Structure 1
Amino acid sequence: MNTTTISSSQASNGWLNGLIGVLLFSGSMPATKVAVLSLDPIFVTVVRALIAAILAASFLIIYKVKIPNKIQTQSILIVSVGAVIGFPLLSAIALQHMSAARSLVFLGTLPLSTAIFAVIRGKEKPKPVFWLFALLGSSLVVGFALMQNSQSSLEGDLLMIAAIILCGLAYAEGAKLTKTLGGSQVISWAIIFATPIVIPLFYFYFPSSVETITIDAWTSLFYLGTMSMFTGFIFWYRGLAQGGIASVGQLQLLQPFFGLVLAAFLLNEYVSTQMVFVTMGVVLCVAASKKFA
């Protein structure tokens, strides 16, 4: 349990907000894969951050948000390094060496990474049985992904491992700060703090020919900047803060399957019976994690 008491209504709101965040994140890896097919991964990272920066700056100006204090700034910098720069960049580079399906192996371990940092940074104390279902859920996702005959390399795998560690830290740190600052402010300031690095990189890695950038790549960048980098985080951090970082973080186990469902509807890709059964198992693990967190 968390060190503070969480009411049932607050927990329910947390799971609802967390679920919305996961849904908005679901297309992140496929969209990134599409973008890096024709663009440099560093350019993809900075463009998604700049698109999100426009939304973040608009929010901060419209609502006349105060500048965070020194302690808040330290936490925001961790979120900025992990969620705005670290995970997007490392995963984009990794996807040059692996398929989007292979990335599911690592996304399946993200809830565990988040839960571990929830204990370290958020001072949460889930029950021992929570870890059993968290490990089982991650194993189901990883096992399913490994059976997809996806390709990768050692370099790609190591990059994704680093990305998952940074992302778990950023999730836990941002959720902890959201309790006092609010999810919208946390992600907005994290994005703004990254712009001094992002803007020079944008000009340095700008493609020599814009005509070579496909419509699919532009669409992917727009989605990554508006949904994956900004809007999704507002719901996600709010959900983690309301329902508990370790507990709500288990919803990430569903993200790969939401992505596959989207692919089935939008791209007419085949959804196997195996995927349906594995998804049911993951849902049961998430439900059990919620009960024992």
Structure 2
Amino acid sequence: MQAHANSIGSNKESRGMWLGLAGVAVFSLTLPFTRIAVAELHPAFVAFGRAVVAALCSILLLWQMKAPRPTRVQVKALLITALGVVVGFPLFSSIAMRYVPASHGAVVLGVLPLATAVFGALRFGERPSLGFWLAALAGSGIVIAFALRQGGGHFHAADFALFAAVIAAAMGYAEGGRLSQSMGGQQVIAWALVLSLPVMLPASLWLAWEYGVSASPQAWLAFSYVSLFSMFIGFFFWYKGLALGGIARVGQVQLLQPFMTLLGAALIAGEVLDASNLLFAAAVIAVVAIGRRMAVRR
């Protein structure tokens, strides 16, 4: 009986890891497409406008699902989620992408798995083992070293915006991942977007009026990706994965995201990808494999 229960738990965790990886693959192209969009559109408009587009899609989804209204307790968690992933991360990352390449942002955001684990531990009582923390620290240390190497031994001023984006995303990921256990990943991101619409819509309209929205088809295509995939569809996979496999463990899949983003930046934005990137990617994958085997009490 115990063996059967362990097998079920292992299958749920494995499924959670694969769903998390699918979400990370979608998110990994966010910075390259944001970089393209903010080259012609105001960064705040890109951040808030993509939330408006995704919120309108969410209204249709919730109506089709006949989803019940969230409870008062759930609304509080949804607002925290929205503050992190609907407002904070898009705004700070869009500002940073105006000044630094997507490849630079990719490696700085490599500390996101550690930040997500910290929020999960502090907010919801997950207790990763010492080995898990060492693996997370090692992986984060690798990507930080990579960022410093790319920056000539120091951080760029835009890194502060990226660090703020990390904190916002980690908070939203942890809160939303936990809430997905009772609401489901689709409803979590959909309601978070809908609740943010009364603020995002007027802000987007004002920004469009103030700064204009004249841009090339390429910029609008990039805006469409971050609106529909980064802000909406990717969260279906991500929050479901966090709910099944745990915030701390599935969050480690994010260690692969910087290197997926580097590849995307090379293919989409024409940024340079050199051999050292592949070496750092191999090191991070090894750390993820080690951390995957470490115990996490939930």
TM-score bin, normalised by smaller chain: over 0.9
Q: Contact 1:52–1:230 at 8 Å: present in 2 too?
A: yes
What aligned pairs does 1:84-163 form with structure 2 within 5 A after superposition?
A: 84-149=86-151, 153-154=156-157, 156-163=158-165
Instruction: Give, as a single letter, the amino acid of the residue that structure 2 aligns with 1:82.
Output: G
Matched, 1:200 2:207: no
Which range moves more in the overlay, 242-251 or 264-273? 264-273
Instruction: Give, as a single letter, the amino acid of the residue that structure 2 aligns with 1:253.
Output: L
- CA deviation profile, 1:100-155 (whole Å, cap 9, x unmatched): 2321242111111100001011211111010111011111122223323489643x
Alignment partner of 2:127: what SS? coil
- Describe the shift of the 1:261–1:204 C-alpha distance in structure 2 as closer, same or farther (beyond 3 A): same
Query: Partner residue of 1:290?
Result: 292
Query: Partner residue of 1:174?
Result: 176
Displacement of 1:21 in angstroms is: 0.1
Query: Partner residue of 2:64?
Result: 62
Q: Contact 1:105–1:146 at 8 Å: present in 2 too?
A: no
Which of the residues 47, 50, 53 maps onto 2:52?
A: 50
Which range moves more in the overlay, 62-71 or 100-109? 100-109
Q: Contact 1:77–1:193 at 8 Å: present in 2 too?
A: yes
Partners of 1:33 and 1:242 lie apart in 2 by 32
Partners of 1:263 and 1:106 lie apart in 2 by 14
Alignment partner of 1:65: what SS? coil
Query: Partner residue of 2:14?
Result: 12
Partners of 2:144 and 2:227 lie apart in 1 by 27
Displacement of 1:265 in angstroms is: 4.3
Q: Contact 1:87–1:164 at 8 Å: present in 2 too?
A: yes
Partners of 1:212 and 1:43 lie apart in 2 by 12
Query: Partner residue of 2:32?
Result: 30
- CA deviation profile, 1:172-192 (whole Å, cap 9, x unmatched): 000110001100000000000
Query: Partner residue of 1:221?
Result: 223
Q: Contact 2:102–2:261 at 8 Å: present in 1 too?
A: no
Which range moves more in the overlay, 92-101 or 53-62? 92-101
Alignment partner of 1:108: what SS? helix
- Describe the shift of the 1:33–1:269 C-alpha distance in structure 2 as closer, same or farther (beyond 3 A): closer
- Describe the shift of the 1:261–1:98 C-alpha distance in structure 2 as closer, same or farther (beyond 3 A): closer
Which of the residues 240, 248, 263 maps onto 1:246?
A: 248
Query: Partner residue of 1:255?
Result: 257
TM-score, scaled relative to structure 1: 0.92
- CA deviation profile, 1:27-51 (whole Å, cap 9, x unmatched): 1111111111111111111211111
Q: Contact 1:97–1:153 at 8 Å: present in 2 too?
A: no
- Count of residue correspondences: 289
Instruction: Give, as a single letter, the amino acid of the residue that structure 2 aligns with 1:255.
Output: Q
Q: Contact 1:104–1:142 at 8 Å: present in 2 too?
A: no
- Describe the shift of the 1:31–1:207 C-alpha distance in structure 2 as closer, same or farther (beyond 3 A): farther
Q: Contact 2:249–2:292 at 8 Å: present in 1 too?
A: yes
- Describe the shift of the 1:116–1:205 C-alpha distance in structure 2 as closer, same or farther (beyond 3 A): same
Q: Contact 1:102–1:152 at 8 Å: present in 2 too?
A: no
Instruction: Give, as a single letter, the amino acid of the residue that structure 2 aligns with 1:279.
Output: A
Displacement of 1:229 in angstroms is: 0.5
Displacement of 1:62 in angstroms is: 0.4
Displacement of 1:96 in angstroms is: 2.7
Which range moves more in the overlay, 264-273 or 135-144? 264-273
Partners of 1:288 and 1:207 lie apart in 2 by 51
Query: Partner residue of 2:76?
Result: 74
Identity of aligned residues (%): 40
Matched, 1:212 2:176: no
Q: Contact 1:32–1:92 at 8 Å: present in 2 too?
A: yes
Q: Contact 2:102–2:262 at 8 Å: present in 1 too?
A: no
Alignment partner of 2:260: what SS? helix
Query: Partner residue of 1:184?
Result: 186
Q: Contact 2:106–2:261 at 8 Å: present in 1 too?
A: no
Which range moves more in the overlay, 49-58 or 204-213? 204-213
